[in-house]
DNA sequence: CTTGGCACTCGGGTTCGGCGAGTGCCAGGC
DNA sequence: GCCTGGCACTCGCCGAACCCGAGTGCCAAG
């Protein structure tokens, strides 16, 4: 569609807005009544015919009103939508809610709940990606017998831990000192390094260890390697699934599969990853996926709005998931606002 | 109802079984056909009249079949149900699935997924309660600047950690040694103690610390106190919410509120707690809540089957949540089987 | 290019019977 | 005394017929 015809675009926008608010096919008469388009229904009908021809709208059955197609929503989101700015009260609420967080886990938890609540849809927050995170410190704590606890701390504030059984330990009394020495060597080798790189450095540590202790070192280092790998693993948190069922019975047909997909965090991770890569619609950091674009992930009739967040660079994504006919302007504004506040909080 | 009339009980059992499998009101004719009751429909009708009189069954509308009431299910569960033993294949599957777990978190995660899958309902697993857990070790790791990481390890395998900013530290270079000394004193004071008791011992540690370091000690100990409190906090994990929507449209009216309640872990914790206390129906460790008994928790038309689990003593509960008209014998058998395997695994 | 008019379509809601499953009651038989 | 077959009655469900109205497409005129 050329930009030429302003009114046709206005009609599309009006159709999207009305349909989103009423959930019913919208006809030409209702359209001229609710929006001051300054022309008669007949004219609108002509425009509608063209819009339908071009695939932006469709009619569920002959002699019913029109509803937007995925393509129609796409155009709306890309070129027609004006994000609805949040009210000062809402901004304050967001800030107040997030400021109370004490912890990275807490920040993520609060964020996902907040998003679900203000958008009244399902919310998804990806944990800050650790592929770029660096090792801040590694601690090895003997906890009696052959057991020791490994603790890995990254500079993003994430903590991974693991209990390791040191089977090859000869002298149990000497073990604590051995471990302490090992810890110091490990720290010297990996502190400040990125996780992936750190994993590679570890082999050198084993080789450099004293002859009698290579076995112990190998065991501990192997466990630490797992820890690093676990640290690299992406995680997501969701909330507000109950909002999906409220948001209208029309999604209820596919509700089952959507809920299923939401429980499979692997699917969500792929979704988030894909959105990060392609940046389908980029308005600021906002990215929107509409309807059939998510079908391969088992998410029919579903749209997703996400935004990158993080201190300075984009560490991860957060967003909202709901029925295709969601209120994009408000949702997008909310996602953007929350992502900004979260980024700010993480910078401290 | 007296025990006297065996046939009446048989009729109730038959009604429950048929209704659960067909989801339709069951009439007298269908009943004598499907179950060899050896009497005529007319006789059954008389029995039904009595059962209805006593509140065990009801008819949705005049001249329709009967459906069990909550009271009917209750009687069924308490006295009529024979748990359906799991097939050897199922037992093997359970074992194989749980044996792969590497971690407490992993055990819990696998368990909840497994329960959801084999019962085709929503599953709930409470983390092993820590009110009885004891402190195994406390570690304080300086991580640069004024920051330190507290790690609390309990003898149930749970690990809590927290980052603390030591604002009152005077000499930053001396801080690591201060913290190490503090750690040793703390460990001496609380190792082996139960969490609640440990929290009380902590104040003594601060008072006993050297004059110049009381401020630092107070800060660290305060954070550790929070850690202990967090460790005491109960947690639950859920899975299989998608099964709720599949399990029949009749629950769909209340589906929203059920999903909402499931997201509120507080509600689930209370539910689990209540079931632990009252032990509504106790068959082995199994406990069953039916329909309106859960209404105060925002769970309408919902039944819950749980069982205690843990090594030796009952540390927590796990179970399943579904529509009132669930298949109790199979569900109860599954919950019991899983709880036993999990208990066994935890004993290692 | 817009507009009012007009014929046409078709989905949704309503009404109306008929069908059938199921019940309660009763009188008779083991 | 309990069970049984028979019988009249009650309703919910289903399909058919029906109407209404919103909405469309097309056309001729401004």
Q: Rounded mean pLDDT of B183-198? A: 87
What's the pLDDT at B2? 45
Q: With left for phi above 0 and alpha for psi between -120 and 50, is residue A18 left, alpha or beta?
A: alpha
Q: Which of A338, A344, A341 is nearest to A116 (CA)?
A: A338
Among B14, B15, B25, residue whose Cα is nearest residue B61: B25
CA distance A193 to chain B (A): 15
Amino acid B213: pLDDT: 81
Percent residues over pLDDT 70 in chain A:
95
pLDDT at B251: 56
Tokens 């959105």 identify what position?
A275
Verify if strand C has an atom below 7 Å from the CB of B26.
yes
Q: Summarize the confidence of residues A225-236 as an average pLDDT.
A: 82
d(CA B268, CA B263): 8
CB contact under 8 A, B137 and A143: yes
Give the closest of B144, B151, B262 to A141, CB-based. Answer: B151
User: Is the predicted pLDDT of residue B346 greater than 90, yes or no?
Assistant: no
Position A281 pLDDT exceeds 70: no
Q: What average pLDDT does range A221-237 have in this prediction?
A: 84
**Residue A113 predicted with pLDDT over 90:** yes
Q: What is the pLDDT of residues B30-59, one digit of tens each?
A: 999 999 888 999 999 999 999 999 999 999
pLDDT of B3 reads 38
Dihedral angle over CA of A149, A154, A158, A160, nearest 10: -20
Lowest mean pLDDT among A51-60, B170-179, B290-299: B170-179
Q: Strand D: which positions are within 7 A of a protein CB?
A: 3-6, 9-12, 21-27
What is the pLDDT of chain A when averaged over all its residues?
A: 88
Distance CA(B16)–CA(B23), nearest Å, equals: 10
Partner residue opposite A157 with nearest CB, options B136, B157, B163: B163
The pLDDT value recorded for residue B155 is 76
Model confidence at A88: pLDDT above 80 = yes
Residue B149 pairs in a beta bridge with B141, B163
The more confidently predicted of residues A251 and A210 is A210
More confident residue, B268 or A347: B268
Tell me the H-state helices in chain B.
6-22, 28-34, 41-53, 70-75, 88-99, 104-119, 175-190, 195-208, 214-232, 241-246, 252-263, 265-278, 328-346
Subunit contact A143:B157, Cβ cutoff 8 A: no
**pLDDT tens by residue, A24-49:** 999 999 999 999 888 999 999 999 99
Dump pLDDT digits (tens) for B311-343: 777 888 999 999 999 999 999 999 999 999 999
Average pLDDT (A48-67) is 93
Kindly tell me the burial class for residue B208, based on how many C-beta atoms sit within 10 Å of its own C-beta (0-12, 13-18, 19 or more): exposed
Full-model pTM: 0.85
Q: What is chain B's mean pLDDT, rounded?
A: 88
Reply yes or no on whether the pLDDT at B254 is more than 90: no
Domains of chain A: residue spans and CATH:
6-78 (1.10.10.10), 88-128+234-346 (3.30.450.40), 131-231 (3.30.390.10)
Lowest mean pLDDT among A234-248, B74-88, B269-283, B317-331: B269-283
Q: Tell me which residue of B5, B4, B19, B9 sits closest to B58, measured CA to CA.
A: B19
Q: Using the Cα atoms of residue A137, residue A142, residue A148 and residue A149 in order, give the sign of their dihedral.
A: negative
Nucleotide C7 C1' to residue A292 CA (A):
38
Among A315, A320, A311, A300, residue whose Cα is nearest residue A340: A311
Residues 11-50 of A with CB under 7 A from strand D: 25-30, 41-42, 45, 48-49
- Residue A254 pLDDT class (50, 70, 90 cuts): confident
Residues of A in contact with B252 (CB under 8 A): 245, 252
Question: What are the start-end ranges of the E strands in chain A?
Answer: 57-58, 67-68, 122-126, 135-142, 147-154, 159-165, 236-239, 286-289, 302-309, 316-323
Q: What is the pLDDT of residue A3?
A: 39
Question: DSSP of B8-64, one letter per residue?
Answer: HHHHHHHHHHHHHHH-S-B-HHHHHHHS---S-HHHHHHHHHHHHHTTSEE-SSTTS
Among B126, B130, B185, which Cα is nearest to B159's? B130
A318-339 pLDDT, tens digit per residue, is 999 999 999 999 999 999 999 9
Q: Is the CB of A39 within 7 Å of strand C? A: yes
Give B264 to chain A, closest Cα distance, Å: 10
pLDDT the model gives residue B250: 55
Of A144, A162, A245, the CB nearest to B256: A245
């Amino acid at each position: 569609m050329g930009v030429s015809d302003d009114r046709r675009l206005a009609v599309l926008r009006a159709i999207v807005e009305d349909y989103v608010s009423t959930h019913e096919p919208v006809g030409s008469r209702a359209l001229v009544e609710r929006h001051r388009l300054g022309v008669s229904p007949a004219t609108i009908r002509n425009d509608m015919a063209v819009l339908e021809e071009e695939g932006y709208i469709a009619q569920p059955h002959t002699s019913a009103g029109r509803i937007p197609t995925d393509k129609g929503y796409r155009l709306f989101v890309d070129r027609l939508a004006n994000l609805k700015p949040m009210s000062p009260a809402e901004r304050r609420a967001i800030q107040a809610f997030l400021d109370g967080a004490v912890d990275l886990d807490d920040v993520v938890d609060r964020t996902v709940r907040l998003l679900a609540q203000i958008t009244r849809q399902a919310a998804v927050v990806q944990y800050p990606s650790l592929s770029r995170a660096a090792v801040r410190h590694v601690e090895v704590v003997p906890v009696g017998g052959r057991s020791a606890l490994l603790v890995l701390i990254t500079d993003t504030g994430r903590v991974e831990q693991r209990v390791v059984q040191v089977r090859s330990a000869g002298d149990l009394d000497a073990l604590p000192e051995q471990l302490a020495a090992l810890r110091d060597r490990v720290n010297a080798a990996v502190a400040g390094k990125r996780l992936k790189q750190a994993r590679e450095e570890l082999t050198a540590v084993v080789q450099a260890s004293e002859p009698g202790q290579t076995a112990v070192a190998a065991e501990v280092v192997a466990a630490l390697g797992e820890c690093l790998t676990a640290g690299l693993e992406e995680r997501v948190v969701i909330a507000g699934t109950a909002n999906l069922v409220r948001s209208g019975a029309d999604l209820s047909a596919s509700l089952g599969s959507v809920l299923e997909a939401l429980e499979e965090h692997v699917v969500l991770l792929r979704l988030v990853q894909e959105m990060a890569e392609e940046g389908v619609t980029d308005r600021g950091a906002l990215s929107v996926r509409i309807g059939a674009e998510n079908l391969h992930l088992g998410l029919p009739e579903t749209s997703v709005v996400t935004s990158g967040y993080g201190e300075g660079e984009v560490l991860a994504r957060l967003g909202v998931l709901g029925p295709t006919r969601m209120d994009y302007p408000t949702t997008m504004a909310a996602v953007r606002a929350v992502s900004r506040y979260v980024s700010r909080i993480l910078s401290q």
